[in-house]
Amino acid sequence: MADGVVIPYEAIGGAEATQRLCDRFYDLMDSLPEAAEVRALHPPDLRGSRDKFADFLSGWLGGPQLYIEKYGHPRLRMRHIRFPIGDQVRDQWMLCMRRALAEVVDDVVLREALERAFSGVADHMRNQPR
């Protein structure tokens, strides 16, 4: 907590919990039949995706800006524009993230706030007509 402000990165448990969230998210994406469409947009080997997402989450949650240090500004829409992301892909992504959050983030208020924030990002990533 900095000056009375809760930093999600610290509140969920720092680097270790951020990595657990990322790993659980990709484990779910890789194993849930109902996430097949979003999984198909990723490479067969998820190691690179996991590493980049963990770096991104670190900074996005208020921790070290690892992604920016390695790759520059995230430019999420630009980096994802080549992938067809419609409502179904967004919903599958959110299914995996909701479940990962439920397993990693114990604080209900924080978990719900993160879910809302992730949902906003997921909505922003859509690039297909409704």
User: For residue 3, what pLDDT is reported?
Assistant: 67
Which three-class secondary structure state does DSSP give residue 39?
Answer: helix
Q: What is the pTM of this model?
A: 0.92
Return averaged pLDDT per consecutive 10 residues of the chain, 130 residues in all: 79 97 98 98 96 97 97 89 94 98 96 97 91
Task: Indicate whether 44 belongs to any domain.
Answer: yes
Q: Residue 15 and residue 53: Cα distance in Å, rounded?
A: 12
Task: Indicate whether 50 belongs to any domain.
Answer: yes
Structure tokens at 24: 């659980």
Task: Indicate whether 51 belongs to any domain.
Answer: yes
Task: Indicate whether 99 belongs to any domain.
Answer: yes
Task: Give the domain CATH number at 82.
Answer: 1.10.490.10
Task: Indicate whether 2 belongs to any domain.
Answer: no
Q: Residue 39 and residue 74: Cα distance in Å, rounded?
A: 21
Number of domains observed in the structure of the chain: 1
Identify the domain containing residue 80 by its residue range: 8-125
- Max Cα distance, the chain (Å): 44
Task: Indicate whether 28 belongs to any domain.
Answer: yes
Task: Indicate whether 3 belongs to any domain.
Answer: no
Task: Indicate whether 130 belongs to any domain.
Answer: no
